[in-house]
Amino acid sequence: MTDIQRFDAGPRISQMAIHNGVIYLAGQIPTRVGADATGQTAEVLGAVDALLARAGSDKTLILRAEIFLADINDFAAMNAAWDAWVPAGHAPPRATVEARLALPGLKVEIVVTAALRPA
């Protein structure tokens, strides 16, 4: 049996799981759906920070990020928030794609995989 820790587990998803020193976050979405893409991205990145902190990690240990935009024309606006957030020298591998998101008004969803802080 493998040791998997799940956080905020609901009937459909968990917000975070940890296995073998790797943290897997569910897709994080903003709560302020009326905000522009920069504002929504900043809010989502704050949620990523909070989840990683709960796990004992931080954004310098991100292994990979996947960004979904409802409209690829928001790429520059999303990058404005991303560039202000990601620490110099710690930009992770990343993919950004246009996708139909689950709820009206969502402009961005971000999925992150990160390492636990070494003991």
* pLDDT tens profile 80-94: 999 999 999 999 999
Q: Between the CA of residue 110 and those of 67, 95, 119, what are the distances in Å?
A: 5, 10, 27
32: containing domain: 14-115
Residue 49 pLDDT: 98
Residue 1 pLDDT: 54
Residue 55 three-state SS = helix
| Number of neighbouring beta carbons within 10 Å of residue 28 | 20
* 3 falls within a domain: no
Average pLDDT of the chain, as a whole number: 96
* 4 falls within a domain: no
The CATH number given to whatever domain includes residue 87 is: 3.30.1330.40
Q: What angle do CA 48, 7, 58 make, to 5 degrees?
A: 30
Local confidence band at 12 (pLDDT 50, 70, 90 cut-offs): very high
Count the domains in the chain.
1
The pTM of this model reads 0.95
CA distance linking residue 107 with residue 117, whole number of Å? 31
